[in-house]
Structure 1
Amino acid sequence: MRMAELSDRSGITTATIKYYLREGLLRPGRRISATQAEYDEDHLRRLRLVRALIQVGRMPVATAREVLVAVEDESLDHHMRLGAAVWALPQGSTDAADGQDEAARTARRRADALLEELGWTMARQDGDRSPAYRTLVAAIAGLSRTGYPCDQGDLLAYGRLAGELAVTDLDMIERYGTAYEQIEAAVALTVLYEPVLLSLRRLAEAEESNRRFGDGGCDV
Structure 2
Amino acid sequence: MKISELSRTTGVPVASIKYFRRQGLLPAGRATAATLAEYGDEHVQRVRLIKALTTLGGLSIAATRDVLAAVDGAEGPDGTLKAISYALPVPVAQAPVEDADQEAEAESAAAADVADLVAAMDWRVAAASPHVQGLRAALRELRRLDAGYQPDRLVAYAELAHAVAGLDLERAAGFDDSPALAEQAVIVLALSGPVLELLRRLAQEDRVRRRMELVGDGDDLL
The verdict on a shared fold, with TM-score over 0.5 as the criterion, is yes
Asked if structure 2 preserves the Cα contact closer than 8 Å seen for 1:53 and 1:59, the reply is yes
Q: Please, what TM-score do these two structures have when normalized by structure 1?
A: 0.85
Residue 57 of structure 1 corresponds to 57
1:202 Cα offset (Å): 2.5
Asked if structure 1 preserves the Cα contact closer than 8 Å seen for 2:54 and 2:60, the reply is yes
1:101 Cα offset (Å): 1.7
Residue 204 of structure 1 corresponds to 203
Out of 176-185 and 189-198, give the one that drifted further. 176-185
Residue 158 of structure 2 corresponds to 159
- Take 2:220 and 2:166, find their aligned partners in 1: how far apart are those partners? 35
CA shift in 2, pair 1:204/1:32, >3 Å: farther
1:164 Cα offset (Å): 0.5
- Take 1:64 and 1:205, find their aligned partners in 2: how far apart are those partners? 37
Structure showing greater Rg: 2
Q: Identity over aligned residues, as a percent?
A: 35
Residue 113 of structure 1 corresponds to 116
Higher relative contact order (CA 8 A, sep 6+): 2
1:32-47 paired onto structure 2 within 5 Å: 32-47=32-47
Asked if structure 1 preserves the Cα contact closer than 8 Å seen for 2:70 and 2:83, the reply is yes
Query: How many residues get paired?
Result: 214
Q: For each residue in 1:114-154, what CA deviation from the matched residue of structure 2 results, as whole angstroms up to 9, or x when unmatched?
A: 1111111x11xx11x10001001111001001125442333
Deviation above 4 Å: which 4+ runs of structure 1?
A: none
Gaps of 5+ in 2: none
Residue 25 of structure 1 corresponds to 25
Residue 175 of structure 2 corresponds to 176
Asked if structure 1 preserves the Cα contact closer than 8 Å seen for 2:21 and 2:28, the reply is yes
Residue 8 of structure 2 corresponds to 8
CA RMSD, 1 decimal: 2.6
Gaps of 5+ in 1: none
1:219 Cα offset (Å): 6.5
Matched to 1:208, the amino acid is R
- Take 1:87 and 1:152, find their aligned partners in 2: how far apart are those partners? 25
Matched to 2:170, the amino acid is D
Asked if structure 2 preserves the Cα contact closer than 8 Å seen for 1:71 and 1:183, the reply is yes
Out of 171-180 and 30-39, give the one that drifted further. 171-180
1:27 Cα offset (Å): 1.7
Matched to 2:110, the amino acid is A
2:135 matches 1:132: no
Asked if structure 1 preserves the Cα contact closer than 8 Å seen for 2:46 and 2:179, the reply is no
Matched to 2:201, the amino acid is R
